[in-house]
């Protein structure tokens, strides 16, 4: 188990000075300090519930599993289900075709296709890349 620093013996004024120096040096930020300070009541409540569980057993644990107020343990927001639109799906498909077509090209032709993609769009660039790829003779094995 890692050893923890005993901050109880350090005077409060010295701790405040050290914390301000850490913030000034960029080792931590004021928002991090506030976040930890705001977490303290919820952490204390959780530790108290765990202690009650250890003292009295499972019956009390079920009764205390839900906090009396939602301030003690904030509820997690449900994860958003990802839905892709038809437009986004088509854009991803075109992007994949574009990358596959570019892979077959080298040098000047590749640069030319990229320019077309920027100016006229990915669909036109894919057409050009496929046409250029057909014109390039395959490598001899």
Q: What does DSSP assign to residue 139?
A: P
Q: What is the pLDDT of residue 1?
A: 46
Q: How far is CA 54 from CA 46, 47, 63, 91, in A?
A: 12, 11, 14, 56
Pseudo-torsion of CA 119, 121, 123, 124, nearest 10°?
Answer: -20
Comparing 136 with 96, which gets the higher pLDDT? 96
pTM of the model: 0.40
pLDDT, tens digit, 9 for 90 and up, residues 9-59: 778 787 788 778 888 888 777 788 788 778 888 888 888 888 887 877 766
> What is the sign, positive or negative, of the torsion defined by CA atoms of 118, 120, 123, 124?
negative
Neighbours of 67 (CB within 10 A): 15
Q: Is the pLDDT of residue 93 over 80?
A: yes
Q: What is the pLDDT of residue 87?
A: 92
- The C-alpha atoms of residue 33 and residue 92 are separated, in whole angstroms, by 42
pLDDT, tens digit, 9 for 90 and up, residues 102-125: 888 888 889 999 999 999 988 889
């Amino acid at each position: 188990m890692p050893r923890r620093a005993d901050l109880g013996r350090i005077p409060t004024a010295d701790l405040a000075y050290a914390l301000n120096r850490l913030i000034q040096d960029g080792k931590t930020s004021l928002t991090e300090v506030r976040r930890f300070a705001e977490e303290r009541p919820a952490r204390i409540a959780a530790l108290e519930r765990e202690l009650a569980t250890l003292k009295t057993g499972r019956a009390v644990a079920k009764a205390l599993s839900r906090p009396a107020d939602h301030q003690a343990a904030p509820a997690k927001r449900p994860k958003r289900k990802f839905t892709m639109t038809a437009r986004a799906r088509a854009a991803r498909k075109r992007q994949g075709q574009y990358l596959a077509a570019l892979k077959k090209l080298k040098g000047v032709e590749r640069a030319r296709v990229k320019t077309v993609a920027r100016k006229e769009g990915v669909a036109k660039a894919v057409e050009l890349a496929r046409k250029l790829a057909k014109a390039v003779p395959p490598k001899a094995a």
